[in-house]
Amino acid sequence: MDIQKSDALRRMPVLSLVLPCYNEQEVLPETTRQLEALLARLQASGEIAEGSAIYYVDDGSRDATWDMISSYSEQSDKVCGIKLSRNRGHQNALLCGLLTAPGDILISLDADLQDDLEAIPRMVAEYRKGSEIVFAVRRRRNKDTFFKRVSAESYYKFLAFMGVQIVYNHADFRLMSRRAVESLRSYDETHLFLRGLIPQLGYKSSTVEFDRAERFAGESKYPLTKMLSLAWQGVTSFSAYPLRLITGVGMAISILSLAMAFWAIVTKLFTNQALPGWASTVIPMYFLGGVQLLSLGIIGEYVAKIFESSKNRPRFHVESLCGKGFSEDGSR
Ligand code: UDP
Ligand code: MG
């Protein structure tokens, strides 16, 4: 491609907004209305090209989400839908959307309007200036509960400590160029943690700040268990530090026990003090038992990952598509 043509593309790209949805019937009407208005505005001002559209990924919803998406796609050529065969989790749904939607740039965001739409024009502007990936980062977390704020902040710090390269306070609200998305295609890990993976792609990247709002309607689809599981993926998919920690703790305890043995011999040989009894026998037993079980658990977690990956199962199945973006002319 000659440089002039690629410059023209960069000035006026086709934008696809990718939104995973799981039981989002309460928010979809408002989300669609706001996103359509945004696309129309950006198109009118010449920031994005004709053909830009919303791509909803229905992650196996049990409510009217898919019916709504398909009826919107009949009424408007700005709405398209991808239906997964069952619930595969936010990360897989997001990946499916990124890998399936057309467009020169793709912006992923949540369906519940928590991500500030006004950050989108700024993200597009960063792309036009040359960034291949634009991370939206939260300025403040004043809308989150105290628990969520503290746990999220400690988690980001913990990941950084473990050597995981991550963009601080960035979740999955980001812009990716076609080139970056194509690079993502070659990673086929079973346990996805996109916000850890994408910074590893390299390419020129930048950040824009936004304030996260409260969920527009409906309930969070990320209960504590799902959140903990994602957090754990983030650690074990990108860091072998927990395994190393086990080695360190094991070594320290071994050295300590040698010292204890030495002390016991010295006591026995050179003093007539009573030998340590119950406490010194039972406490180390429980302690070591605990350390061993924990270590086995952590090793087991990595082994389970190898097991899951070795099966190499597909991460999602697309059941159906709707919308102009997938029709004959917008073909895929
Ligand atoms: N989501 C999904 N599959 C799931 C859980 C969530 O596609 O199994 C979507 C959900 O519809 C939303 C986004 O992921 O668009 C973020 O979820 P949510 O807003 O419930 O999470 P929170 O903001 O509470 O962390
Ligand atoms: Mg949300």
Task: Examine the domain organization and report whether 30 and 167 are in the same domain.
Answer: yes
Mean per-residue pLDDT for 81-85? 94
Residue 173 located in a structural domain? yes
Task: Examine the domain organization and report whether 177 and 296 are in the same domain.
Answer: no
CA 154 to ligand 2 centroid distance, Å: 20
119-153 per-position pLDDT tens digit: 999 999 999 999 999 999 988 766 677 887 888 88
Residue 105 CB-density burial (10 A; 0-12 exposed, 13-18 middle, 19+ buried): buried
Phi-psi region of 214 (alpha: psi -120 to 50; beta: other; left: phi over 0): beta
Q: Give the CATH number, domain containing residue 35.
A: 3.90.550.10
Which ligand 1 atom is the nearest neighbour of the CA of 218? Answer: 20
Total structural domains within the chain: 2
Task: Examine the domain organization and report whether 318 and 279 are in the same domain.
Answer: no
Residue 38 located in a structural domain? yes
Nearest ligand, measured from the Cα of 27: 1
CA 111 to ligand 2 centroid distance, Å: 7
Residue 45 located in a structural domain? yes
Can you give the pLDDT at residue 90? Answer: 93
Task: Examine the domain organization and report whether 268 and 150 are in the same domain.
Answer: no
- Closest C-alpha to ligand 1, atom 14: 90
| DSSP letter, residue 26 | T
Angle in degrees, CA 206, 212, 218, rounded to 5: 135
Cβ contact 175:134 at 8 Å: yes
Which ligand 1 atom is the nearest neighbour of the CA of 111? Answer: 15
Which of 55, 112, 138 has most ligand 1 atoms within 8 Å of its beta carbon, as the pocket-test mutant? 112
Task: Examine the domain organization and report whether 85 and 117 are in the same domain.
Answer: yes
Which ligand 1 atom is the nearest neighbour of the CA of 93? Answer: 7
Task: Examine the domain organization and report whether 69 and 100 are in the same domain.
Answer: yes
Task: Examine the domain organization and report whether 285 and 318 are in the same domain.
Answer: no
Task: Examine the domain organization and report whether 167 and 90 are in the same domain.
Answer: yes
Mean per-residue pLDDT for 21-26? 93
CA 285 to chain centre: 40
Q: Which domain covers residue 272, as residue numbers?
A: 241-311
Helix (H), strand (E) at residue 180: helix 178-184
Residue whose structure tokens are 């086990």 = 246
Residue 228 located in a structural domain? no
Task: Examine the domain organization and report whether 211 and 247 are in the same domain.
Answer: no
CA distance 242 to 298: 7
Task: Examine the domain organization and report whether 284 and 142 are in the same domain.
Answer: no
Give Cβ neighbours of residue 289 (< 8 Å, ≥ 6 apart). none
Mean per-residue pLDDT for 24-41? 94
Task: Examine the domain organization and report whether 48 and 93 are in the same domain.
Answer: yes
Residue 7 located in a structural domain? yes
Nearest ligand, measured from the Cα of 215: 2
Can you give the pLDDT at residue 332? Answer: 42
Strand pairing category for 205-210 and 79-84? unpaired
Residue 236 located in a structural domain? no
ipTM associated with this complex: 0.93
- Closest C-alpha to ligand 1, atom 16: 110
Q: Is the pLDDT of residue 116 over 80?
A: yes
Residue 328 located in a structural domain? no
Can you give the pLDDT at residue 1? Answer: 46
Report pTM.
0.76
33-69 per-position pLDDT tens digit: 999 999 999 999 988 988 899 999 999 999 999 999 9
Residue 303 located in a structural domain? yes
Cβ contact 175:123 at 8 Å: yes
Nearest ligand, measured from the Cα of 109: 1
Which ligand 1 atom is the nearest neighbour of the CA of 21? Answer: 11
Task: Examine the domain organization and report whether 318 and 285 are in the same domain.
Answer: no
Which of 110, 141, 227 has most ligand 1 atoms within 8 Å of its beta carbon, as the pocket-test mutant? 110
